[in-house]
Amino acid sequence: MGIGLLSLGFPFLTLKPNRLAQGSAFSLWNVLPPVEILVLLLPWIVLIALVLIISERPFYPLLVGVVANVAVLTVFLLVGRSAERLMIGQEPFARVSMSFGSWGLVGASYILIIDAFQKARAYRPGRFLIAFSGLLAVLLLLSTGYLKELSILKEYAVRKDRFLLELGKHVTLSGVAVLLAVVIGTPLGVLAFRRRLLERPIFFVVNSIQTIPSLALFGIMIAPLSVLSYKVPFLREMGVKGIGSTPALIALTLYALLPITRNTYTSLKVIDPAILDSAKGMGMNRLELLLTIQLPLSIPIILSGIRVSMVQAIGNTTVAALIGAGGFGVFVFQGLGQAAFDLILLGTIPVIVLAIFTDKIMQLLVTLLTPEGLKKAGEILQ
């Protein structure tokens, strides 16, 4: 909450003569009339009141989450109005961007939202409201064109078709990589649990992969895949090359292995031996034991590992643009090359939104699939 209050003292918007030039910063006191300043402050006043009055009540996290979502929506509503006012009388190439103050308010609000989501476990419908209401409201504003005067939206308007293309590539690359990691990592986790001699070698390999920087791992893939493509024409015709989606997909899959393998192994290891003894006493063989007892009890923990891998893959896919794999990294690196900050944001913000959205969906899925007995015992940690 302190971050949000401190953000009020920083510039709220920046007006630039064009997308590359330095701009003039405007505080919220310069761009908002008194009534709108009061509207902006109202959610934060309510949050302070909640802390002082009902912080010990069980429904406190739910109220904080709802008010924090209102705070996010309020920032974007006032940013849109202020941007329209600043653009009056400006040249067509002029740009208005959100500054540290407005981004700080949004970031502080989401810190509160994440904290409230974690604490409001007793209110399942309320958790969904906390997780997605503010985000969906902002997406609705975007769809109506309310924020069209912001520089990042102008960058999007120029590159709309390319944006949708890269969105598809980003989601496909990260999604397929995690799917392959599930297919490979889950059996590896089971194997590490069943064969003690293989436990250390398996985790040595998957742990070692995590220590390699992502760009280096992408680079390592280029030479062998180029040779393979040259030597085997069939693979070349299938699209296997030293650059592009193939090395990116292999690297992303390797990165996604550790959380899935580790969680699969851990989920099997923490099952109460008494449950297994009872199943054996009923005449179950090892395969029946695995399929009917161990894996069903392990699903919540395995899903938690998949959740980590999905968020990690969404972030790592951004770097894959450097080897021609596409994705939102295309805009990030174009923006860096042109010193166009809003173009960088056009690539980074969707990645953040995708990661948050995926994380919350997976958290809800883990909650729904966790047996009540395990929740009460506290054996599943999200």
- Are the CB atoms for 258 and 206 separated by under 8 Å? yes
pLDDT single digits (tens) 306-334: 999 999 999 999 998 988 888 999 999 99
pLDDT in tens, 276-309: 778 777 777 777 777 777 777 888 889 999 999 9
Q: How far apart are CA 123 and CA 367, in angstroms?
A: 11
DSSP state of 323: G
Residue indicated by tokens 């999604």: 175
Residues 250, 199: one domain?
A: yes
What is the CATH number for 49? 1.20.140
- 382 in any annotated domain: no
Task: Say yes or no: 234 and 90 in one domain.
Answer: no
Q: How wide is the angle at C-alpha 233 spanned by C-alphas 232 and 234, nearest 5°?
A: 90
Output the pTM of the full model: 0.82
Same domain for 181 and 119? no
Percent of the chain with pLDDT strictly greater than 70? 95
Q: Decide if pLDDT at 140 tops 50.
A: yes
Domain boundary among 151, 172, 196: 151
- pLDDT value at 74 more than 80: yes
Are 14 and 129 in a shared domain? Answer: yes
- For the chain, report the end-to-end CA distance as a whole number of angstroms: 24
Q: Which two tokens stand for residue 278?
A: 């009872």
128 and 164 co-located in one domain: no
> For the segment 171-230, what is each residue's pLDDT rounded down to a tens digit?
999 999 999 999 999 999 989 988 888 989 999 999 999 888 888 888 888 888 888 877
CB 355 within 8 A of CB 311: yes
For tokens 């893959």, the residue is 313
Residue at a domain's end among 151, 176, 210: 151
DSSP string, 193-227: HH-HHHHHHHHHHHHHHHHS-HHHHHHHHHHHHHH
pLDDT at 261: 94
Q: Is the pLDDT of residue 382 over 50?
A: no
Q: Per the structure, how many domains does the chain have?
A: 2
Is residue 332 within 8 Å of 347, Cβ to Cβ? yes
Query: Within 10 A of 63 (CB to CB), how many other CB atoms are there?
Result: 18
Q: Name the helix (H) or strand (E) containing 24.
A: strand 24-26
Q: Kindly state whether residue 372 falls inside one of the protein's structural domains.
A: yes
CATH at residue 312: 1.10.3720.10
Domain membership of residue 52 as a residue range: 2-151
Q: pLDDT tens digits, residue range 75-111?
A: 999 999 999 999 988 888 889 999 999 999 999 998 8
Do 173 and 312 share a domain, yes or no? yes
Kindly list the strands in the beta sheet with 95-98, ordered across the sheet, starting from the edge strand earlier in the chain: 24-26, 13-16, 95-98
Same domain, 168 and 136: no
- Give me the numbers of helices (H) and strands (E) for the chain, helices first please: 18, 3
Q: Is residue 97 part of a domain?
A: yes
173 and 305 part of one domain: yes
Sign of the torsion angle spanned by Cα atoms 360, 364, 370, 372: positive
The DSSP bridge pattern shows strands 24-26 and 13-16 to be antiparallel
Q: What letter would DSSP give residue 15?
A: E
Do 286 and 164 lie in a common domain?
yes
CB 329 within 8 A of CB 245: no
Residues 272 and 327 both lie in one domain: yes
309 and 168 within one domain: yes
**Which of 151, 186, 205 is the last residue before a domain boundary?**
151
Instruction: Please identify which residue in the block is written with the tokens 């031996």.
Output: 273
What gap in Å lies between CA 67 and CA 54, rounded to an integer? 14
Q: What digits encode the pLDDT tens for the residues 23-62? A: 888 988 889 999 999 999 999 999 888 888 887 777 788 8
Same domain for 329 and 181: yes
Is the model's pLDDT at 258 over the cut of 90?
yes
